[in-house]
A and B are shown apart, each in its own frame.
Chain A
Amino acid sequence: MNANTFTPAGQKTKSDKGKMMASRVISYIFLAFVTVLSLFSFYLLIINATRSNAELQAGFTLIPHGNFINNFVKAWNDTSLVSIPRGMLNSFIIAASAAILTTYFSAMTAYGIHVYDFKGKKFAFNFILIVMMIPTQVSAVGFVQLVNQIGLSDTYWPLIIPAIAAPSVFFYMKQYIESSLPLEVVEAARVDGSNEFLTFNTIALPMLKPALAVQLIFAFVASWNNFFTPALIINTKEKATLPIMISLLRSELNSRAGDLGEVYMMILLAIIPVVIVYIFLSKHIVQGVALGAVKG
Chain B
Amino acid sequence: MSTQKRKSVSYSKWGYIFIIPFFVVYIFCSLIPLFSTFYNSFFENYRDGLTQIGPNFVGFENYIKLFTPNSSGNILILDYTANTMIMWLLGAIPQLIFSLLLAIIFTSARLKIKGQQFFKTVIYMPNLVMASAFAMLFFTLFSNVGPVNQLINAMGGETVDFFGNVWTARGIIAFINFLMWFGNTTILLMAGIMGIDQSLFEAASIDGANSVQVFFKITLPLLMPILVYVIITSLIGGLQMFDVPQIITAGIGKPNRSTMTLIMYLNNYLSTSKNYGMSGAISVVVFIITGILSMFVYKTMVKGDDSGKKKAKKLAAKGVK
**Chain A contact residues, CB within 8 Å of chain B:** 1-8, 20, 23-24, 27-28, 30-31, 34-35, 37-39, 41-42, 44-45, 48, 57, 59-60, 105-106, 108-109, 111-113, 115-119, 121, 124, 128, 130-131, 133-146, 158, 161-162, 164-165, 167, 170, 178-179, 182-184, 186-187, 190, 196-197, 200, 221, 224-225, 227-228, 231-232, 242-243, 246-247, 249-251, 253-254, 260, 263-264, 267, 270-271, 274-275, 278, 282-283, 285-286, 289-290, 293-295
Contact = CB atoms under 8 A, between A and B. Distances in A.
Q: Most chain-B Cβ atoms within 10 A of its Cβ — which of A30, A37, A141?
A: A141
A53 to B, nearest CB: 11
Contacts of B263: 137, 228
A41 B36 contact: no
Interface stretch (B84-92, B197-205, B306-314): B197-205
A186 to B, nearest CB: 7
Contact of B150 (A60, A117, A254): A60
A253 B141 CA distance: 13
Given A30-B105, A38-B122, A142-B280, 10 more contacts: A35-B122, A41-B138, A112-B14, A113-B19, A133-B236, A141-B33, A141-B279, A225-B128, A228-B263, A243-B132
Would you call the interface of chain A mostly helix, strand, loop, or mixed? helix
5 contacts: A8-B205, A142-B280, A167-B26, A228-B263, A243-B130
B165 interface: no
B240 A135 contact: yes
A131 to B, nearest CB: 7
B283 A141 contact: yes
B219 A227 contact: no
Contacts, number: 368
Given A41-B141, A44-B147, A112-B15, A182 B113 contact: no
B22 A1 contact: no
B191 A290 contact: yes
Contacts of A295: 229, 301
B60 interface: no
Contacts of B9: 115-117, 183, 186-187, 190
A59 B206 CA distance: 59
A60 B33 CA distance: 49
Contact of B218 (A3, A138, A146): A3
Contact of B184 (A119, A139, A250, A289): A289
B214 interface: yes
Contacts of A228: 242-243, 263, 267
Nearest to A41: B137
B71 interface: no
Interface in B114-144: 117, 119-126, 128-141
B22 A117 contact: no
Interface in B1-37: 1, 3-4, 7-19, 21-23, 25-26, 28-37
Contacts of A3: 104, 107-108, 193, 201, 211, 214-215, 218-219
B21 A118 contact: no
A224 B123 CA distance: 20
Contacts of B145: 57
B64 interface: no
Contacts of B14: 112, 115-116, 196-197
Interface string B229-269: 10000001001101100111011000000000001001100
